[in-house]
Amino acid sequence: MVGTAEVIETMAAMVIFSLILLSANRMIIRNTNMQVQGEVEQEVVALAQNIIEESRTKEFDELSKGAAPPAHIPGDFTAPGSLGPDDEAADPDDPNSDDDLNKDGTYQRSEFDDFDDYNGWEDTITTEHGQFKIWAKVFYVNTSTYTKSSSRTTFKKIQVFVSSKYLNKSSSDSAKYHFEFIRNYYAD
Amino acid sequence: MNIGLVTSYLIAGIILLAMLSMNMSVSHSSNEITLSQVTRERATTISDMMTNDMLKMGYNRKSKTSPILTTANNNKIEFRSNIDNSTDNSVEIVTWEFTSSAITNTTNPNDRLLLRTIRDASTGSIISQDSIKSGVIKFQFSYYNDYGKPRSDSMSTPVSASNLASIKQIYVSFKLQYGEKIDNSSPSRYVTTIWEKRFSPPNLEL
């Protein structure tokens, strides 16, 4: 048949071009995703920094709030297993040690008065870039290795985690962003 | 008439058009990435300046300044700080204001002038003034008298003089657009970036 060679050549060109087109489309989609990711990651950093800066404005420990420091440091600080918002039993000498100021049975961020009250705190924050899930952990750390310590020390670490549905590791698994800050009782 | 030849020319034409279209798409995407990178860099510069100033609010070498905040409006904030950490403990007044003056050297009709002014607190004379013409189209402050309040639960602005001392957190949000359009589409489309953060200046904690 006349022109068969041309048809075959054209078809080959179409196949090659389709592959190039697919590749270019993938590149455009990847670039767009990275643009969105960069924008949303800015927000993630700002949210985590907000929590860390806020926690730094609080006292180091529920029992270091008074005018005088505790008699034994760090022995008089809150027990490692009790880090978190405090109830009235946290400090027998302080009738106002209960962090549930409005007595509604929940501990709000606005009621926190010391650094470790953020332990176990979680919230969903709505921003211009959508909703972010944010939660925190606070624990004592070893004074030389800065790893988690099961006993009281003069160092506490806050870990802030942030996730968003727009930041995914895979289609079903959302990425968890992790920020840390170590606070020293004597550096306050 | 050679049908095979005609068909192949027709398909080749379609492929050429598709290649042209793909080339334009890739070029457009690349252009948009470059512009958004530039816009984000500009936003980072402003946020770095803002963070530097905000966290030093009320700072002096031996004690806090008094007062700390002097103006708290939704488009303007003014506070005292020894911003240059001078050894003579002299205090400066730092002002951030989003003005209504349009930027005229861009085609974007929405961008306005953002001013950062440092004045000597004792004489009132201007030490430095930065006119930020990076394409800011929105710049907003909100104030909170407690930590962690929902965004909508801010203090009403302008915050009255008697309530200035109760401010604990300051939320800053700004939107930046590149000065030129991405393409000639209508309505005009500009590369946009948004930055927002809630500050907890250490000196505002009672």
If you count residue pairs, one on A and one on B, with CB atoms under 8 Å apart, how many are there?
101
Distances (CA, A) of A33 to A19, A22, A95, A130, B202: 21, 16, 53, 16, 37
Q: Is the pLDDT of residue A89 over 90?
A: no
Residues comprising chain B, all counted: 206
The C-alpha angle with vertex B155 and arms to B154 and B157, in degrees rounded to 5, equals 115
Nearest CA in chain B to A8: B8
Q: Which residues in chain A are closer than 8 Å to B195, comparing Cβ atoms?
A: 42, 46
pLDDT in tens, A110-125: 888 899 999 999 999 9
pLDDT in tens, B86-134: 999 999 999 999 999 999 888 899 999 999 999 999 999 999 999 999 9
Chain A: give the shortest CA distance to residue B19, in Å: 8
Give the model's confidence band at B11: pLDDT under 50 very low, under 70 low, under 90 confident, else very high: confident
Put simply, whether the predicted model's pTM sits higher than 0.95 gets the answer no
Query: How far is Cα B200 from Cα B206, in angstroms, rounded to an integer?
Result: 12
Percent of chain A with pLDDT over 70: 93
What would you report as the CA-atom Rg of chain A, rounded to the nearest whole angstrom?
Answer: 27
Chain B: give the shortest CA distance to residue A129, in Å: 8
Q: Is the pLDDT of residue A4 over 80?
A: no
Q: Structural domain boundaries of chain B?
A: 34-204
Chain B: give the shortest CA distance to residue A24, in Å: 7
Closest by alpha carbon to A183, among A132, A123, A115?
A115
The predicted pLDDT at position A93 comes to 67
A103: left (phi over 0), alpha (psi -120 to 50) or beta: left
Q: Is the pLDDT of residue A1 over 60?
A: no
Q: Is the pLDDT of residue A33 over 80?
A: yes
8 Å CB contact of A109 and B25: no
Nearest CA in chain B to A21: B22
ipTM of this complex prediction, to 2 decimal places:
0.83
Closest by alpha carbon to B39, among B186, B137, B151?
B137
